[in-house]
């Protein structure tokens, strides 16, 4: 997709941004293959050129927190349901060990979804501007100059 065409994309709704993110696609354009590996995003979206870290250092600290909270909530609901089903004699030892393993596995498996969802939330709160997208496509670095959208 050319830069002009990427700039002319209509602004996505919050639902579209999150849906694209949960499908592990670029929240801005819906372009596929934005991950270099399971844990690492490419620098820019191959389709629209959006810098996937939006140019700030420590951008994905929020994604780590989002990942932790999401997995904790999922496990909380599952444990409550399991205790309810097995009441009055829930297997507390099994719950303790299984939830520990599930917490670790959940954090690893949900990590890519947390990164793309965090990017979608950021795009919803702080929409992409023409100047910022051009700066991303030119490969602008945080140390080079002040971000155009700040």
Reading the block at residue 24, the tokens are: 């592990």
Arithmetic mean of pLDDT over the chain: 86
Between vectors from CA 17 to CA 55 and to CA 128, what angle results, nearest 5°? 40
Torsion sign over Cα 73, 68, 117, 39: negative
The rounded distance, in Å, linking the Cα atoms of 124 and 142 is 22
Question: What CA–CA distance (Å, rounded) separates 60 from 83?
Answer: 34
Q: What is the pLDDT, as a whole number, of residue 4?
A: 44
**Weakest mean pLDDT among 57-61, 99-103, 146-150:** 146-150
Whether 138 has a pLDDT exceeding 90, the answer reads no
pTM, rounded to two decimals:
0.81
Domain boundaries, the chain: 3-137
> Prior bond to 130 cis, omega within 30?
no
């Amino acid at each position: 997709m050319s830069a002009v065409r990427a700039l002319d994309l209509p602004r996505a709704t919050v639902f579209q941004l999150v849906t694209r993110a949960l499908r592990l696609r670029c929240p801005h354009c819906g372009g596929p293959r934005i991950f270099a590996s399971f844990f690492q995003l490419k620098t820019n979206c191959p389709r629209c050129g959006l810098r996937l870290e939006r140019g700030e250092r420590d951008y994905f600290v929020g994604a780590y927190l989002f990942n932790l909270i999401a997995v904790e909530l999922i496990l909380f609901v599952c444990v409550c349901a399991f205790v309810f089903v097995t009441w009055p004699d829930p297997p507390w030892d099994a719950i303790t060990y299984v939830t520990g393993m599930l917490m670790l596995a959940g954090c690893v498996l949900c990590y890519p979804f947390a990164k793309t969802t965090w990017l979608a939330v950021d795009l919803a709160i702080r929409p992409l501007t023409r100047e910022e997208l051009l700066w991303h496509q030119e490969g602008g670095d945080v140390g080079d100059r002040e971000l155009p959208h700040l």
